[in-house]
Structure 1
Amino acid sequence: MNTPVDRYDRLTRTFHWLTAAVVIFMFASAHIWENLEKGTPLRKGLQSVHISLGIALAVLILARIAWRLSGGTRLKADSHPALNLLAKMAHGCLYLLLLAQIVLGFLFRWAQGEPFNFFGLFSVPAPFAIDHAWRGTLGGLHDTVAWAIIGLAGLHACAALWHHSIKRDNTLRRMLPAPRDAV
């Protein structure tokens, strides 16, 4: 039976799963609207939600990094040192890719010169002018980084499932809520 020390704290788990859900929705929504006719309400709605969630993701990732640096649960590594190093490198790359994606998303939107707001509540003005000619480059980079995030996150999920199914260790359980009878 796991003790509370054997799993990540509730906030760390919430950050993890919320990030995963937002990233998956944003990736899917972008690929759905690409197949919709330009100017349709559904396409515009998906784009608007995507942009708003991008702003929310920026706040979420910054909060997640601050929590990790200041007080997030640190757990003893369960694996071989080489696997632990690989896991740390993958996590570091995921954080860097997420930060790069957020920056690219903001720059791309500002280069489009279109409104950039959070669920219609407030706008995010461009802090400097970005030449519209950069739209294609920034959009391409934003798309490439999205695929890199999905690929690396997929490997991350496969590694968790490998730990759970093949190694039969606690790696996956540490990121899941505690069973009710364990509390």
Structure 2
Amino acid sequence: MTTDSTDLPVRYDRLTMSLHWLTALLVIGLFACAQIWEQLPKGTPLRKELQALHISCGILLAVIVVCRLLWRLLKGRRLPAANQGALNILAKTAHLALYALLLSQIVLGFLLRWAQAEPFNFFGLFDVPTLISFDKSMKSVFGGLHEQVAWAIIILASLHALVALVHHYGLRDNTLRRMLPGRDLN
């Protein structure tokens, strides 16, 4: 049995697109939030509110990333590769690196918060239990790693977005459109 290429889906499914764009929005928001509070004096109410928002959105990001991975592994729509050869390998490697960095960042965020030995909650709805206790000296280690991974995510995600724009405006192919809702691509 052969499959006609016109039978293949041309876009990712709605859930895949939604989770992708929610991830992008949260990553940008979390990074911006951290950059803003770093400019504020310690102990100010706005700084504390931004940190609480960052923690809650970080927990939300953790849930979304886990859902993304499960959906991708179990049910998500598979599309033919947009590139061939070395470009395909490079694209797959970049996606894998983004997932690895996101997962690392989530783990580091929890470790950092637990090393701070301060309670934290999810949008005021429930407290997050402390699963591991650390010496407070680990706060600077986890904090430094959390910041470095954040910059790595921003740099790699920016390159990802730039390549999508090159595909769209330079190569004039459907690579970017596959992740955008809308009309048929044909």
Measured against the shorter chain, the TM-score band is: over 0.9
Is 1:26 the counterpart of 2:30? The answer is yes
- Identity among equivalent positions (%) equals 62
Does the CA contact (< 8 Å) of 2:117 and 2:133 recur in 1? no
CA distance in 2, matches of 1:46, 1:3: 48
Give CA-to-partner distance per residue, 1:87-115, whole Å, 9 cap, x none: 00000000000000000000000000111
Amino acid at match of 1:157: A
Q: Where does residue 157 of structure 2 map in the other structure?
A: 153
Greater shift, 23-32 or 36-45, is seen at: 36-45
TM-score by length of 2: 0.93
May I ask how many residue pairs the two structures share in their alignment? Answer: 180
CA distance in 1, matches of 2:168, 2:27: 23
Is 1:56 the counterpart of 2:70? The answer is no
Please give the secondary structure, in 2, of the residue aligned with 1:27: helix
The higher-RCO structure (CA 8 Å, 6+ apart) is 1
Please give the secondary structure, in 2, of the residue aligned with 1:6: coil
The counterpart of 1:65, out of the listed 51, 65, 69, is 69
Unaligned residue ranges in structure 2 (runs of 5+):
1-5
Q: Where does residue 115 of structure 1 map in the other structure?
A: 119
CA distance in 1, matches of 2:58, 2:39: 20
Amino acid at match of 1:97: L
Please give the secondary structure, in 2, of the residue aligned with 1:117: strand
Is 1:9 the counterpart of 2:26? The answer is no
CA RMSD of aligned residues (A): 1.5
Amino acid at match of 1:44: K
**Mapping 1:64-143, distance limit 5 Å:** 64-143=68-147
CA distance in 2, matches of 1:70, 1:12: 12
Q: Report deviation, 1:81.
A: 1.6
Does the CA contact (< 8 Å) of 2:8 and 2:79 recur in 1? no
Please give the secondary structure, in 1, of the residue aligned with 2:9: helix
Please give the secondary structure, in 1, of the residue aligned with 2:137: helix
Q: Where does residue 40 of structure 2 map in the other structure?
A: 36
Unaligned residue ranges in structure 1 (runs of 5+):
none
Amino acid at match of 2:99: Y
Amino acid at match of 1:43: R
Q: Report deviation, 1:5.
A: 1.4
Does the CA contact (< 8 Å) of 2:111 and 2:142 recur in 1? yes
